[in-house]
Amino acid sequence: MFLWLLVPWTLLLSTALGAVTKIGTSCTVTPLTDGSDDTPQILSAFKSCGNSGSISFLDGIYHINQIMDITLTNSTVSLRGTWIWSTDIQYWLSHSISVVYAKRSTAWRIGGRDFEIRGYGVVFDGNGQKWYDQNRNQGNQNGRPISLTLWNARNAVVDGITWRQVQFWHTFVAHSQNITMTNLDMNATSNSQYKTVNTDGIDTWNSKDIVLSNWTVSCGDDCISIKANSSNVHVSNVVCHESGGMCIGSIGKDAGVAEYVDDVVFDNITLIHSSNAAWIKTYPSGPGHVKNITFKNIKFTDVNQPIYISPCIYSYSNCDASRLQISDVRWENISGTARYNVGAGIHCSGNAPCQNLTFENIDIKQKSGAAVEYLCSNIANQKTSGWRVLGLVLRISLSSSIIISLGGS
Ligand SMILES: *[C@@H]1O[C@H](CO)[C@@H](O)[C@H](O)[C@H]1NC(C)=O
Ligand SMILES: *[C@@H]1O[C@H](CO)[C@@H](O)[C@H](O)[C@H]1NC(C)=O
Ligand SMILES: *[C@@H]1O[C@H](CO)[C@@H](O)[C@H](O)[C@H]1NC(C)=O
Ligand SMILES: *[C@@H]1O[C@H](CO)[C@@H](O)[C@H](O)[C@H]1NC(C)=O
Ligand SMILES: *[C@@H]1O[C@H](CO)[C@@H](O)[C@H](O)[C@H]1NC(C)=O
Ligand SMILES: *[C@@H]1O[C@H](CO)[C@@H](O)[C@H](O)[C@H]1NC(C)=O
Ligand SMILES: *[C@@H]1O[C@H](CO)[C@@H](O)[C@H](O)[C@H]1NC(C)=O
Ligand SMILES: *[C@@H]1O[C@H](CO)[C@@H](O)[C@H](O)[C@H]1NC(C)=O
Ligand SMILES: *[C@@H]1O[C@H](CO)[C@@H](O)[C@H](O)[C@H]1NC(C)=O
Protein backbone atom coordinates (compact mmCIF):
# COMPACT_ATOMS: atom_id res chain seq x y z
CA MET A 1 0.00 0.00 0.00
CA PHE A 2 2.95 2.31 0.43
CA LEU A 3 4.30 1.35 -2.94
CA TRP A 4 3.73 4.82 -4.42
CA LEU A 5 6.09 6.14 -1.73
CA LEU A 6 8.70 3.47 -2.18
CA VAL A 7 8.96 3.33 -5.94
CA PRO A 8 10.98 6.49 -6.40
CA TRP A 9 13.62 5.13 -4.05
CA THR A 10 13.85 1.78 -5.74
CA LEU A 11 17.12 1.17 -7.46
CA LEU A 12 17.78 -1.84 -9.59
CA LEU A 13 21.48 -2.34 -8.94
CA SER A 14 22.17 -4.10 -12.17
CA THR A 15 19.86 -5.65 -14.68
CA ALA A 16 22.56 -8.12 -15.65
CA LEU A 17 22.66 -9.42 -12.11
CA GLY A 18 18.94 -9.17 -12.12
CA ALA A 19 17.61 -9.13 -8.71
CA VAL A 20 18.93 -6.84 -5.98
CA THR A 21 16.43 -4.16 -5.13
CA LYS A 22 17.47 -1.38 -2.82
CA ILE A 23 15.04 0.83 -0.95
CA GLY A 24 16.76 3.24 1.38
CA THR A 25 19.30 1.09 3.24
CA SER A 26 17.32 -2.15 2.73
CA CYS A 27 18.31 -4.58 0.03
CA THR A 28 16.08 -7.42 -1.18
CA VAL A 29 17.58 -10.26 -3.17
CA THR A 30 15.64 -12.58 -5.46
CA PRO A 31 17.46 -15.70 -6.63
CA LEU A 32 18.32 -16.07 -10.30
CA THR A 33 16.12 -18.57 -12.04
CA ASP A 34 18.42 -19.80 -14.80
CA GLY A 35 20.71 -21.80 -12.50
CA SER A 36 23.61 -19.40 -12.84
CA ASP A 37 25.88 -18.20 -10.04
CA ASP A 38 24.12 -16.01 -7.48
CA THR A 39 27.34 -15.02 -5.71
CA PRO A 40 27.88 -11.69 -7.54
CA GLN A 41 24.43 -10.36 -6.66
CA ILE A 42 24.69 -11.64 -3.08
CA LEU A 43 28.03 -9.86 -2.64
CA SER A 44 26.61 -6.73 -4.19
CA ALA A 45 23.71 -6.75 -1.71
CA PHE A 46 26.09 -7.16 1.25
CA LYS A 47 28.17 -4.30 -0.09
CA SER A 48 25.20 -1.97 -0.63
CA CYS A 49 23.28 -2.65 2.57
CA GLY A 50 25.72 -4.36 4.95
CA ASN A 51 26.64 -1.14 6.75
CA SER A 52 23.76 0.26 8.80
CA GLY A 53 21.17 -1.47 6.68
CA SER A 54 19.35 -4.73 6.16
CA ILE A 55 19.43 -7.45 3.55
CA SER A 56 16.55 -9.76 2.93
CA PHE A 57 16.91 -12.88 0.78
CA LEU A 58 13.65 -14.09 -0.72
CA ASP A 59 12.70 -17.73 -1.11
CA GLY A 60 14.10 -19.84 -3.94
CA ILE A 61 17.38 -21.50 -4.88
CA TYR A 62 20.68 -19.65 -4.62
CA HIS A 63 23.72 -21.12 -6.39
CA ILE A 64 26.98 -20.30 -4.62
CA ASN A 65 29.88 -20.85 -6.98
CA GLN A 66 32.44 -18.52 -5.41
CA ILE A 67 33.99 -17.63 -2.08
CA MET A 68 32.37 -14.85 -0.08
CA ASP A 69 34.38 -12.54 2.18
CA ILE A 70 32.14 -9.92 3.73
CA THR A 71 31.95 -7.35 6.51
CA LEU A 72 28.71 -6.45 8.24
CA THR A 73 28.31 -3.45 10.52
CA ASN A 74 25.13 -2.57 12.39
CA SER A 75 22.99 -4.62 10.04
CA THR A 76 20.46 -7.41 9.84
CA VAL A 77 20.42 -10.24 7.32
CA SER A 78 17.30 -12.41 6.75
CA LEU A 79 17.94 -15.65 4.93
CA ARG A 80 15.39 -17.76 3.09
CA GLY A 81 15.50 -20.44 0.43
CA THR A 82 18.06 -23.13 -0.30
CA TRP A 83 21.68 -22.14 -0.77
CA ILE A 84 23.64 -24.70 -2.77
CA TRP A 85 27.45 -24.63 -2.87
CA SER A 86 29.01 -25.77 -6.14
CA THR A 87 30.98 -28.98 -6.50
CA ASP A 88 33.91 -27.52 -8.40
CA ILE A 89 36.41 -29.14 -6.03
CA GLN A 90 39.44 -27.64 -7.78
CA TYR A 91 37.99 -24.12 -7.55
CA TRP A 92 37.38 -24.41 -3.81
CA LEU A 93 40.73 -26.08 -3.08
CA SER A 94 42.56 -23.16 -4.67
CA HIS A 95 40.31 -20.24 -3.66
CA SER A 96 39.02 -20.96 -0.15
CA ILE A 97 39.95 -18.19 2.28
CA SER A 98 42.62 -19.07 4.85
CA VAL A 99 41.54 -19.14 8.48
CA VAL A 100 45.16 -19.64 9.63
CA TYR A 101 44.31 -22.36 12.15
CA ALA A 102 45.99 -25.61 11.02
CA LYS A 103 46.13 -24.37 7.40
CA ARG A 104 42.36 -24.58 7.15
CA SER A 105 40.16 -22.37 5.03
CA THR A 106 36.60 -21.32 4.49
CA ALA A 107 34.06 -20.76 1.74
CA TRP A 108 32.43 -17.83 3.54
CA ARG A 109 34.12 -15.44 5.97
CA ILE A 110 32.08 -12.85 7.86
CA GLY A 111 33.58 -10.14 10.02
CA GLY A 112 32.37 -6.87 11.50
CA ARG A 113 30.26 -5.82 14.44
CA ASP A 114 26.71 -5.47 15.65
CA PHE A 115 25.00 -7.72 13.14
CA GLU A 116 22.37 -10.43 13.07
CA ILE A 117 22.03 -13.21 10.55
CA ARG A 118 18.67 -14.92 10.92
CA GLY A 119 17.35 -17.82 8.92
CA TYR A 120 13.67 -18.28 8.16
CA GLY A 121 13.57 -21.84 6.91
CA VAL A 122 16.88 -21.40 5.09
CA VAL A 123 18.88 -24.51 4.17
CA PHE A 124 22.61 -24.46 3.38
CA ASP A 125 23.35 -27.42 1.14
CA GLY A 126 27.13 -27.94 0.98
CA ASN A 127 26.92 -30.66 -1.67
CA GLY A 128 29.26 -32.44 0.73
CA GLN A 129 28.91 -35.94 -0.69
CA LYS A 130 31.37 -34.92 -3.44
CA TRP A 131 33.83 -33.88 -0.75
CA TYR A 132 33.37 -37.03 1.30
CA ASP A 133 33.91 -39.22 -1.75
CA GLN A 134 36.96 -37.42 -3.11
CA ASN A 135 38.52 -37.25 0.37
CA ARG A 136 38.33 -41.05 0.73
CA ASN A 137 38.48 -41.15 4.53
CA GLN A 138 41.70 -39.09 4.64
CA GLY A 139 42.29 -36.51 7.39
CA ASN A 140 42.11 -32.77 7.00
CA GLN A 141 42.52 -31.76 3.38
CA ASN A 142 44.00 -28.30 2.90
CA GLY A 143 41.54 -26.11 1.04
CA ARG A 144 38.47 -28.16 1.86
CA PRO A 145 36.25 -25.31 2.96
CA ILE A 146 34.54 -24.63 6.27
CA SER A 147 30.98 -23.56 5.45
CA LEU A 148 30.71 -20.40 7.58
CA THR A 149 33.42 -18.59 9.55
CA LEU A 150 33.00 -15.65 11.88
CA TRP A 151 36.35 -13.89 11.81
CA ASN A 152 37.03 -10.69 13.73
CA ALA A 153 33.35 -10.46 14.54
CA ARG A 154 31.88 -8.71 17.59
CA ASN A 155 28.38 -8.58 18.97
CA ALA A 156 26.89 -10.93 16.40
CA VAL A 157 23.92 -13.30 16.32
CA VAL A 158 23.52 -16.27 13.98
CA ASP A 159 20.12 -17.95 14.30
CA GLY A 160 17.86 -20.46 12.58
CA ILE A 161 20.04 -22.03 9.90
CA THR A 162 19.75 -25.62 8.70
CA TRP A 163 22.81 -27.27 7.13
CA ARG A 164 22.75 -30.42 5.04
CA GLN A 165 25.81 -32.23 3.69
CA VAL A 166 28.33 -29.60 4.68
CA GLN A 167 31.66 -29.51 2.82
CA PHE A 168 33.90 -29.56 5.95
CA TRP A 169 33.37 -28.03 9.44
CA HIS A 170 29.96 -26.37 9.66
CA THR A 171 31.08 -23.27 11.56
CA PHE A 172 34.26 -21.72 12.92
CA VAL A 173 34.46 -18.75 15.29
CA ALA A 174 37.88 -17.08 15.42
CA HIS A 175 39.25 -13.81 16.80
CA SER A 176 35.71 -12.94 17.78
CA GLN A 177 33.86 -11.74 20.85
CA ASN A 178 30.27 -11.77 22.06
CA ILE A 179 28.82 -14.24 19.57
CA THR A 180 25.42 -15.92 19.99
CA MET A 181 24.49 -18.87 17.77
CA THR A 182 21.04 -20.33 18.31
CA ASN A 183 18.56 -22.74 16.77
CA LEU A 184 20.93 -24.40 14.33
CA ASP A 185 20.28 -27.76 12.70
CA MET A 186 23.13 -29.66 11.10
CA ASN A 187 23.26 -33.06 9.44
CA ALA A 188 26.19 -34.40 7.44
CA THR A 189 25.72 -38.07 6.69
CA SER A 190 27.61 -39.88 3.96
CA ASN A 191 25.63 -42.20 1.75
CA SER A 192 28.70 -43.88 0.27
CA GLN A 193 31.49 -46.14 1.56
CA TYR A 194 33.48 -43.04 2.59
CA LYS A 195 32.94 -41.27 5.89
CA THR A 196 32.24 -37.55 6.10
CA VAL A 197 35.48 -36.89 8.11
CA ASN A 198 35.90 -33.54 9.88
CA THR A 199 32.41 -32.21 9.50
CA ASP A 200 32.50 -30.73 13.04
CA GLY A 201 29.51 -28.71 14.25
CA ILE A 202 31.59 -25.81 15.54
CA ASP A 203 35.16 -25.04 16.52
CA THR A 204 36.08 -21.90 18.45
CA TRP A 205 39.56 -20.37 18.52
CA ASN A 206 40.99 -17.17 20.02
CA SER A 207 37.49 -16.03 20.93
CA LYS A 208 35.47 -15.16 24.01
CA ASP A 209 31.96 -14.61 25.31
CA ILE A 210 30.14 -17.15 23.17
CA VAL A 211 26.63 -18.55 23.64
CA LEU A 212 25.55 -21.66 21.74
CA SER A 213 22.01 -22.87 22.33
CA ASN A 214 19.32 -25.05 20.78
CA TRP A 215 21.34 -27.04 18.31
CA THR A 216 20.62 -30.41 16.73
CA VAL A 217 23.68 -31.91 15.10
CA SER A 218 24.49 -35.12 13.30
CA CYS A 219 28.03 -34.87 12.02
CA GLY A 220 30.33 -37.86 12.42
CA ASP A 221 32.97 -35.74 14.17
CA ASP A 222 33.28 -33.29 17.07
CA CYS A 223 29.89 -31.74 17.75
CA ILE A 224 31.04 -28.73 19.78
CA SER A 225 34.79 -28.21 20.01
CA ILE A 226 36.32 -25.43 22.10
CA LYS A 227 39.84 -24.88 20.83
CA ALA A 228 42.86 -22.78 21.82
CA ASN A 229 42.44 -19.47 23.59
CA SER A 230 38.68 -19.61 23.95
CA SER A 231 37.03 -18.37 27.12
CA ASN A 232 33.60 -17.82 28.59
CA VAL A 233 31.61 -20.18 26.41
CA HIS A 234 28.08 -21.29 27.39
CA VAL A 235 26.66 -24.27 25.54
CA SER A 236 23.13 -25.46 26.26
CA ASN A 237 20.23 -27.45 24.87
CA VAL A 238 22.22 -29.34 22.28
CA VAL A 239 21.45 -32.78 20.86
CA CYS A 240 24.26 -34.50 18.96
CA HIS A 241 24.00 -37.71 16.99
CA GLU A 242 26.96 -39.64 15.59
CA SER A 243 29.56 -37.27 16.98
CA GLY A 244 32.65 -36.82 19.10
CA GLY A 245 30.51 -35.07 21.70
CA MET A 246 31.44 -32.01 23.73
CA CYS A 247 35.16 -31.32 23.38
CA ILE A 248 37.76 -29.07 24.88
CA GLY A 249 40.70 -29.09 22.45
CA SER A 250 42.71 -30.39 20.99
CA ILE A 251 45.18 -27.85 22.32
CA GLY A 252 48.89 -27.85 23.16
CA LYS A 253 50.31 -29.13 19.90
CA ASP A 254 53.16 -26.63 19.63
CA ALA A 255 55.92 -27.03 22.22
CA GLY A 256 56.77 -23.33 22.16
CA VAL A 257 53.28 -21.85 22.44
CA ALA A 258 51.07 -21.69 25.52
CA GLU A 259 47.39 -22.28 24.83
CA TYR A 260 44.43 -22.21 27.15
CA VAL A 261 40.71 -22.81 27.43
CA ASP A 262 38.95 -21.12 30.35
CA ASP A 263 35.43 -20.80 31.71
CA VAL A 264 33.25 -23.14 29.70
CA VAL A 265 29.82 -24.53 30.66
CA PHE A 266 28.07 -27.37 28.84
CA ASP A 267 24.53 -27.73 30.19
CA ASN A 268 21.62 -29.92 29.07
CA ILE A 269 23.33 -31.87 26.33
CA THR A 270 22.16 -35.15 24.80
CA LEU A 271 24.57 -37.40 22.94
CA ILE A 272 23.36 -40.32 20.87
CA HIS A 273 25.84 -42.83 19.52
CA SER A 274 29.01 -40.84 20.08
CA SER A 275 32.66 -41.58 20.59
CA ASN A 276 32.69 -39.41 23.74
CA ALA A 277 30.32 -37.28 25.77
CA ALA A 278 32.51 -34.94 27.85
CA TRP A 279 36.03 -34.88 26.48
CA ILE A 280 39.20 -32.89 27.20
CA LYS A 281 42.02 -33.56 24.74
CA THR A 282 45.51 -32.11 24.74
CA TYR A 283 48.80 -32.94 23.05
CA PRO A 284 51.79 -33.82 25.24
CA SER A 285 54.02 -31.08 23.82
CA GLY A 286 52.69 -27.57 24.51
CA PRO A 287 52.32 -25.71 27.81
CA GLY A 288 49.16 -23.86 28.88
CA HIS A 289 46.06 -24.70 30.84
CA VAL A 290 42.44 -25.79 30.82
CA LYS A 291 40.57 -24.28 33.75
CA ASN A 292 37.04 -23.93 35.07
CA ILE A 293 35.07 -26.28 32.86
CA THR A 294 31.60 -27.58 33.80
CA PHE A 295 29.79 -30.47 32.16
CA LYS A 296 26.31 -30.68 33.67
CA ASN A 297 23.05 -32.39 32.86
CA ILE A 298 24.60 -34.54 30.16
CA LYS A 299 22.57 -37.53 28.97
CA PHE A 300 23.75 -40.09 26.49
CA THR A 301 23.06 -43.36 24.77
CA ASP A 302 25.67 -45.73 23.41
CA VAL A 303 28.85 -43.70 23.85
CA ASN A 304 32.32 -45.28 23.58
CA GLN A 305 34.04 -43.35 26.41
CA PRO A 306 31.54 -41.01 28.07
CA ILE A 307 33.96 -39.08 30.31
CA TYR A 308 37.42 -38.79 28.88
CA ILE A 309 40.61 -36.82 29.49
CA SER A 310 43.64 -37.50 27.37
CA PRO A 311 46.94 -35.57 27.66
CA CYS A 312 48.38 -37.29 24.58
CA ILE A 313 45.63 -37.27 22.02
CA TYR A 314 46.19 -39.08 18.71
CA SER A 315 49.74 -40.25 19.56
CA TYR A 316 48.91 -42.07 22.81
CA SER A 317 52.61 -41.81 23.66
CA ASN A 318 54.63 -39.57 25.94
CA CYS A 319 51.43 -38.94 27.91
CA ASP A 320 53.18 -38.16 31.20
CA ALA A 321 55.22 -35.41 29.52
CA SER A 322 52.36 -32.92 29.16
CA ARG A 323 52.81 -29.78 31.25
CA LEU A 324 49.43 -28.40 30.25
CA GLN A 325 47.57 -27.95 33.53
CA ILE A 326 43.97 -29.15 33.69
CA SER A 327 42.12 -27.85 36.75
CA ASP A 328 38.71 -27.03 38.17
CA VAL A 329 36.66 -29.36 36.02
CA ARG A 330 33.21 -30.42 37.17
CA TRP A 331 30.97 -33.22 35.93
CA GLU A 332 27.49 -33.01 37.46
CA ASN A 333 24.42 -35.04 36.53
CA ILE A 334 26.03 -37.24 33.95
CA SER A 335 23.96 -40.26 32.97
CA GLY A 336 23.55 -42.76 30.20
CA THR A 337 24.89 -45.89 28.61
CA ALA A 338 28.41 -46.72 27.54
CA ARG A 339 29.07 -48.94 24.54
CA TYR A 340 31.86 -50.85 26.28
CA ASN A 341 32.71 -51.51 29.92
CA VAL A 342 34.41 -48.13 30.50
CA GLY A 343 32.47 -45.20 31.94
CA ALA A 344 35.39 -42.80 32.22
CA GLY A 345 39.02 -42.66 31.19
CA ILE A 346 40.65 -39.87 33.15
CA HIS A 347 44.31 -39.99 32.28
CA CYS A 348 46.14 -36.93 33.47
CA SER A 349 49.80 -36.25 32.92
CA GLY A 350 52.37 -37.27 35.53
CA ASN A 351 54.08 -33.92 34.95
CA ALA A 352 50.92 -31.91 35.55
CA PRO A 353 48.37 -33.94 37.51
CA CYS A 354 44.79 -32.73 37.12
CA GLN A 355 43.77 -30.48 40.01
CA ASN A 356 40.38 -30.07 41.58
CA LEU A 357 38.17 -32.38 39.58
CA THR A 358 34.62 -32.71 40.92
CA PHE A 359 32.11 -35.44 40.19
CA GLU A 360 28.51 -35.33 41.36
CA ASN A 361 25.68 -37.67 40.48
CA ILE A 362 27.37 -39.80 37.85
CA ASP A 363 25.24 -42.70 36.62
CA ILE A 364 26.79 -44.63 33.76
CA LYS A 365 25.96 -48.20 32.86
CA GLN A 366 26.71 -50.51 30.00
CA LYS A 367 23.92 -50.95 27.49
CA SER A 368 23.27 -54.35 29.05
CA GLY A 369 22.79 -52.68 32.43
CA ALA A 370 26.10 -54.07 33.73
CA ALA A 371 28.47 -51.85 35.71
CA VAL A 372 31.23 -49.87 34.01
CA GLU A 373 34.84 -49.31 35.02
CA TYR A 374 36.43 -45.95 35.72
CA LEU A 375 40.07 -45.57 34.72
CA CYS A 376 42.04 -42.81 36.43
CA SER A 377 45.59 -41.61 36.79
CA ASN A 378 47.40 -38.57 38.14
CA ILE A 379 44.51 -36.79 39.79
CA ALA A 380 45.42 -34.45 42.67
CA ASN A 381 43.32 -32.50 45.18
CA GLN A 382 40.19 -34.46 44.43
CA LYS A 383 37.21 -32.46 45.67
CA THR A 384 34.35 -34.02 47.59
CA SER A 385 32.33 -36.20 45.39
CA GLY A 386 29.16 -38.18 45.11
CA TRP A 387 31.25 -40.55 43.10
CA ARG A 388 32.59 -42.67 45.90
CA VAL A 389 35.80 -43.99 44.52
CA LEU A 390 37.16 -40.62 43.48
CA GLY A 391 36.99 -39.37 47.03
CA LEU A 392 40.51 -40.77 47.06
CA VAL A 393 43.46 -38.63 46.20
CA LEU A 394 45.15 -40.43 43.39
CA ARG A 395 48.76 -39.76 42.62
CA ILE A 396 49.91 -42.57 40.46
CA SER A 397 51.75 -42.69 37.21
CA LEU A 398 50.04 -43.60 33.99
CA SER A 399 52.08 -46.78 33.75
CA SER A 400 50.31 -47.95 36.86
CA SER A 401 46.85 -46.78 35.86
CA ILE A 402 44.29 -48.28 38.10
CA ILE A 403 41.04 -49.78 37.03
CA ILE A 404 38.27 -49.47 39.57
CA SER A 405 34.96 -51.19 39.27
CA LEU A 406 31.94 -49.55 40.78
CA GLY A 407 29.13 -51.78 41.82
CA GLY A 408 26.67 -49.78 39.76
CA SER A 409 26.06 -46.65 41.79
C1 LIG B 1 22.42 1.50 12.62
O2 LIG B 1 21.66 1.39 11.44
C3 LIG B 1 20.41 2.11 11.49
C4 LIG B 1 19.69 1.86 10.19
O5 LIG B 1 19.48 0.50 10.03
C6 LIG B 1 20.68 3.57 11.71
O7 LIG B 1 19.44 4.23 11.86
C8 LIG B 1 21.51 3.78 12.95
O9 LIG B 1 21.86 5.12 13.05
C10 LIG B 1 22.79 2.95 12.85
N11 LIG B 1 23.53 3.04 14.10
C12 LIG B 1 24.82 3.29 14.11
C13 LIG B 1 25.44 3.35 15.45
O14 LIG B 1 25.47 3.45 13.10
C1 LIG C 1 26.68 -8.51 22.81
O2 LIG C 1 25.99 -8.56 21.57
C3 LIG C 1 24.61 -8.28 21.69
C4 LIG C 1 24.02 -8.43 20.32
O5 LIG C 1 24.15 -9.75 19.93
C6 LIG C 1 24.39 -6.90 22.23
O7 LIG C 1 23.03 -6.69 22.41
C8 LIG C 1 25.11 -6.74 23.54
O9 LIG C 1 25.03 -5.42 23.97
C10 LIG C 1 26.58 -7.12 23.38
N11 LIG C 1 27.23 -7.09 24.68
C12 LIG C 1 28.27 -6.32 24.91
C13 LIG C 1 28.85 -6.43 26.27
O14 LIG C 1 28.74 -5.58 24.05
C1 LIG D 1 20.61 -37.22 9.19
O2 LIG D 1 20.45 -37.55 7.84
C3 LIG D 1 20.45 -38.96 7.58
C4 LIG D 1 20.45 -39.15 6.08
O5 LIG D 1 19.45 -38.40 5.52
C6 LIG D 1 19.24 -39.57 8.27
O7 LIG D 1 19.23 -40.97 8.05
C8 LIG D 1 19.33 -39.29 9.75
O9 LIG D 1 18.17 -39.75 10.40
C10 LIG D 1 19.46 -37.80 10.00
N11 LIG D 1 19.74 -37.58 11.41
C12 LIG D 1 18.90 -36.93 12.19
C13 LIG D 1 19.32 -36.77 13.62
O14 LIG D 1 17.86 -36.46 11.79
C1 LIG E 1 15.27 -22.63 22.31
O2 LIG E 1 14.14 -23.39 21.92
C3 LIG E 1 13.04 -23.22 22.81
C4 LIG E 1 11.98 -24.22 22.46
O5 LIG E 1 11.91 -24.42 21.09
C6 LIG E 1 12.58 -21.78 22.72
O7 LIG E 1 11.51 -21.57 23.61
C8 LIG E 1 13.73 -20.86 23.11
O9 LIG E 1 13.35 -19.53 22.93
C10 LIG E 1 14.95 -21.15 22.26
N11 LIG E 1 16.07 -20.41 22.77
C12 LIG E 1 16.72 -19.55 22.03
C13 LIG E 1 17.89 -18.89 22.69
O14 LIG E 1 16.45 -19.30 20.87
C1 LIG F 1 17.08 -29.22 27.31
O2 LIG F 1 17.26 -29.22 25.91
C3 LIG F 1 16.15 -29.73 25.20
C4 LIG F 1 16.51 -29.73 23.75
O5 LIG F 1 17.64 -30.47 23.58
C6 LIG F 1 14.93 -28.89 25.46
O7 LIG F 1 13.84 -29.48 24.83
C8 LIG F 1 14.68 -28.80 26.93
O9 LIG F 1 13.64 -27.87 27.15
C10 LIG F 1 15.92 -28.30 27.66
N11 LIG F 1 15.71 -28.34 29.08
C12 LIG F 1 15.91 -27.27 29.83
C13 LIG F 1 15.69 -27.46 31.28
O14 LIG F 1 16.26 -26.20 29.34
C1 LIG G 1 47.11 -18.17 22.69
O2 LIG G 1 47.41 -17.03 23.45
C3 LIG G 1 48.80 -16.93 23.78
C4 LIG G 1 48.96 -15.70 24.62
O5 LIG G 1 48.08 -15.75 25.70
C6 LIG G 1 49.62 -16.81 22.52
O7 LIG G 1 50.98 -16.78 22.85
C8 LIG G 1 49.35 -18.00 21.63
O9 LIG G 1 50.00 -17.84 20.41
C10 LIG G 1 47.87 -18.15 21.38
N11 LIG G 1 47.62 -19.39 20.67
C12 LIG G 1 47.07 -19.42 19.48
C13 LIG G 1 46.86 -20.76 18.91
O14 LIG G 1 46.73 -18.42 18.89
C1 LIG H 1 33.69 -20.35 35.49
O2 LIG H 1 33.22 -20.11 34.18
C3 LIG H 1 31.86 -19.71 34.12
C4 LIG H 1 31.50 -19.57 32.66
O5 LIG H 1 32.20 -18.55 32.06
C6 LIG H 1 31.68 -18.42 34.88
O7 LIG H 1 30.31 -18.09 34.88
C8 LIG H 1 32.18 -18.58 36.30
O9 LIG H 1 32.13 -17.33 36.95
C10 LIG H 1 33.61 -19.07 36.30
N11 LIG H 1 34.05 -19.33 37.65
C12 LIG H 1 35.18 -18.87 38.13
C13 LIG H 1 35.50 -19.23 39.53
O14 LIG H 1 35.95 -18.18 37.45
C1 LIG I 1 21.17 -32.12 38.79
O2 LIG I 1 19.90 -32.70 38.67
C3 LIG I 1 19.06 -32.38 39.78
C4 LIG I 1 17.81 -33.20 39.65
O5 LIG I 1 17.26 -33.06 38.38
C6 LIG I 1 18.79 -30.88 39.79
O7 LIG I 1 18.01 -30.54 40.89
C8 LIG I 1 20.12 -30.14 39.89
O9 LIG I 1 19.89 -28.76 39.76
C10 LIG I 1 21.05 -30.59 38.78
N11 LIG I 1 22.37 -30.00 38.96
C12 LIG I 1 22.87 -29.10 38.15
C13 LIG I 1 24.24 -28.63 38.44
O14 LIG I 1 22.26 -28.65 37.18
C1 LIG J 1 42.39 -26.18 43.71
O2 LIG J 1 41.48 -25.74 44.67
C3 LIG J 1 42.13 -25.18 45.81
C4 LIG J 1 41.10 -24.91 46.87
O5 LIG J 1 39.94 -24.41 46.30
C6 LIG J 1 42.87 -23.93 45.38
O7 LIG J 1 43.56 -23.36 46.47
C8 LIG J 1 43.89 -24.30 44.31
O9 LIG J 1 44.49 -23.13 43.79
C10 LIG J 1 43.20 -25.03 43.16
N11 LIG J 1 44.20 -25.50 42.25
C12 LIG J 1 44.23 -25.13 40.96
C13 LIG J 1 45.35 -25.64 40.15
O14 LIG J 1 43.37 -24.41 40.49
> What is the full DSSP assignment across 261-276?
EEEEEEEEEEEEEEEE
> Is residue 38 in some structural domain?
no
Ligand with an atom nearest the CA of residue 188: 3
Q: Quick one: average pLDDT of 240-269?
A: 97
**Each residue's pLDDT tens digit, 44-56:** 999 999 999 999 9
Residue percentage of the chain with pLDDT more than 70: 89
Phi, psi of 245 (to 5 degrees): 80, -155
Task: Report pLDDT digits (tens) over 309-323.
Answer: 999 998 888 999 999
Residues framing ligand 9 (Cβ under 6 A): 327-328, 355-356, 381
In a domain? residue 329: yes
Q: Is residue 291's pLDDT more than 70? A: yes
Residue 91 falls inside a structural domain = yes
Residue 250, preceding peptide bond in cis (omega within 30° of 0): yes
**Rounded to whole angstroms, how far apart are CA atoms 395 and 381?**
9
Count of structural domains within the chain: 1
Q: Which residues are the active-site residues?
A: 221
What's the rounded Cα separation, in Å, for the pair 83 and 59? 10
pLDDT of 163 > 90? The answer is yes
Ligand 1 binding pocket (C-beta < 6 A) is 25, 52-53, 74
Instruction: Kindly report the protein residue whose alpha carbon is nearest to atom 1 of ligand 5.
Output: 237
Confidence class for position 3, pLDDT limits 50, 70, 90: very low
Band (pLDDT 50/70/90 cuts) for residue 400 is very low
Is the CB of 189 within 6 Å of ligand 4? Answer: no
Q: Which atom of ligand 2 is nearest to the CA of 209?
A: 1
Residue nearest to atom 2 of ligand 9 (CA): 356
- Å from CA of 333 to ligand 8 middle: 6
Quote the CA–CA distance of 308 and 370 in Å, as a whole number.
20
Nearest atom within ligand 9 for CA of residue 355: 13
Ligand with minimal distance to 102 CA: 6
Question: Quick check: is 32 in a domain?
Answer: no
Checking if the pLDDT of 350 tops 90, the result is yes
Range of the domain at 181: 55-405
Query: Ligand 3, from 189, 195, 271: best to mutate by most atoms within 8 Å of Cβ?
Result: 189
Give residue 234 CA to ligand 9 midpoint distance, Å: 23
Q: Calculate the CA 239 to chain-centre distance.
A: 13
Classify residue 3: in a domain, yes or no.
Answer: no
Q: Which residues contact 107 (CB under 8 A, 6 or more apart)?
A: 64, 67, 68, 85, 92, 96, 97, 145, 146, 147, 148, 167
**What pLDDT is stored for residue 316 in this prediction?**
86
Residue 115 burial (C-beta neighbours within 10 Å; 0-12, 13-18, 19+)? buried
Q: Backbone phi, then psi, for 211, in 5-degree steps?
A: -120, 125
For ligand 1, pick from 22, 27, 74, 75 the residue to mutate: most ligand atoms within 8 Å of CB.
74
Average pLDDT value for the chain:
90
Please indicate, yes or no, if residue 241 is contained in any of the structural domains: yes
Q: How far is the CA of 164 from the centre of ligand 3 (A)?
A: 10
> What's 239's domain CATH number?
2.160.20.10
| In a domain? residue 119 | yes
Residue 10 belongs to a domain: no
Q: Is 270 helix (H, G, I), strand (E, B) or coil?
A: strand
Q: What is the pTM of this model?
A: 0.92
Instruction: Give the residue whose CA is nearest to atom 1 of ligand 9.
Output: 356
Instruction: Indicate whether 255 pLDDT > 90.
Output: yes
Q: In the predicted model, what is the mean pLDDT of residues 117-130?
A: 98
Question: Does ligand 2 come within 6 angstroms of the Cβ of 232?
Answer: no
Residue bearing the CA closest to ligand 8, atom 4: 333
